[in-house]
Amino acid sequence: MTRNWPVLIEQWTRSTLRDPLQHVSRRHVRECPCCRYKGYFVSANWRRGPEMRCPNCSSRPRDRLLAKLLEVSGLNLAGKRILHFAPEWPLYRRLKDEAGDVGGDIIQRRNADAVVNITAIDSDDTSYDVLICNHVLEHVRNHLKAIRERHRVLREDGIAFFSR
């Protein structure tokens, strides 16, 4: 596990300003499935409680849940074509070295390799082995059209990870 010092410093500083009492509360050593960091997680703010974000990669519980799901599923991503909608930084960092990974978002971003509209995906039918769509649908107006498009580009034997 490599330390991501800029993120570590930013997360510890930000969390200390938002919730200074977290450092005196009882916490447990955790392991992040996104970056393999082992240690104390940091608070996002006093209302959400401690252990919200990984200080090494900024992952949130929803990012870690998906990373853990990918891990326990036993899915070998090597050689697979992956389309990751609105990629989260922790998962983008983890998947970006996979040869067939495409991080797509509605606008150009640093953690997106391509501009992809979830309701009009510019790809051939059955072009992807894996689709990842984590907390995106709540931002889409035409859910039915988005679901049809995702079904169209996913191979028949493909696997999809969706949340909300």
The pLDDT value given to residue 152: 97
Q: Which domains does the chain have, with CATH numbers?
A: 5-59 (no CATH), 74-163 (3.40.50.150)
What phi and psi, each to the nearest 5 degrees, are found at residue 163? -140, 145
What pTM was estimated for this model as a whole? 0.82
Per-residue pLDDT of the chain (164 residues; tens, 9 = 90+): 678 889 888 988 988 888 888 888 888 899 999 999 999 999 876 666 667 899 999 999 999 999 999 899 888 888 999 999 999 999 988 888 888 888 999 999 988 889 999 999 999 999 999 999 998 988 999 989 999 999 999 999 999 998 86
Q: Are 36 and 3 in contact (CB under 8 A)?
A: no
In what order do the strands lie in the sheet containing 101-105?
Answer: 114-115, 101-105, 82-85, 128-134, 154-163
- Position 96 scores a pLDDT of 82
